[in-house]
Every structure is written in structure tokens, then in C-alpha cells.
Amino acid sequence: MPLESRRIAAALGRILLALAAGVASGALLVAGFIYSSLGAPLVFEGLVVVSLYYGAAIAAVCVPIWLILARLGWDGPAAAAALGFIATAAFLVLTYSAGSHHGLPLMSYSFVPYAACGAVAALVTWWVGRLLQRA
């Protein structure tokens, strides 16, 4: 494999590893929140799997937005957290189950914790990406 191809493959691997770390951390946080809220009738492992799918969908939307923000020089931790929060909240609005809540107290109960998990997941992605970039 030529040197340029190896460098591209290595960079792609670092990006995918950072995204996987962020999605996994967000999925664990969301599953933990749901399980602690609703308790025993739910299977924690099933919640993690479902959260991984949602997290992957959110990450797929965030990557092109992050590339635009990086070109503008807004690639710090605050931008990552804001993008994670806003993207997760927007994803929840667009899904039927979360978007059907019309009362403000119920929306703040359902949106804010999930969006906060999205912000933490984005920070983990940013942090792991920075660590891997230095290595």
C-alpha cells in the first residue's frame, strides 16, 4: 500500500474510533438514564443496542456539520458540546415518540437529559479525536 493510502487509512481509522467512542458513551448514558427512570421492566442491554443505532444516526448527521465548523475555526470543546446537544434535541423533535410531547415540563424532562447525553458524547468524540491526532 502506498504511503499516501496508508496515511488516509490511518486518519479514517482514527476518525471512526473517535466516533465509536462518542456513540458508545452516549448510548451508555442514555440507556442508564432510561433504565434508572423506568426500572426493572426494561432490559438494559436492549436499551444500549437501540441507543447505539440512534447515536450512529445522530453522528452521521453531525460529521458534515462538524467539518463545516472546523473549516470556520470553531472546532473546540464548546462547539462539540453545542453540536451534540442541538443535534440530539433536533433528532428527538423529528422522531415521533419524543416529538409527540407537547407540554413544556414533559419536554424538558425528556429532551434535556437526552440532549445532555448527546453533548457528553460529542465531547468524548472530540477528546478521543484530539488524543488520537497527537499520537
What are 24-76's pLDDT values in tens digits?
A: 999 999 888 887 877 666 677 777 888 899 999 999 999 999 999 999 999 99
* 87 HSE (CA, 13 A, CB side): 27
Q: How confident is the model at residue 102 (pLDDT cuts 50, 70, 90)?
A: low
Per-residue pLDDT band at 108 (split at 50, 70, 90): low
User: Whose grid coordinates read 436499551?
Assistant: 47
Global pTM value: 0.85
Q: What is the pLDDT confidence band of residue 93, given thresholds at 50, 70 and 90?
A: confident
Cell of 35: 433504565
Beta carbons within 10 angstroms of residue 25's beta carbon: 20
Q: What is the DSSP letter of 20?
A: H
* Domain coordinates in residue numbering, the chain: 3-134
Provide the residue count of the chain. 135
Average pLDDT of span 12-32: 93
Q: How confident is the model at residue 13 (pLDDT cuts 50, 70, 90)?
A: very high
d(CA 53, CA 18): 16
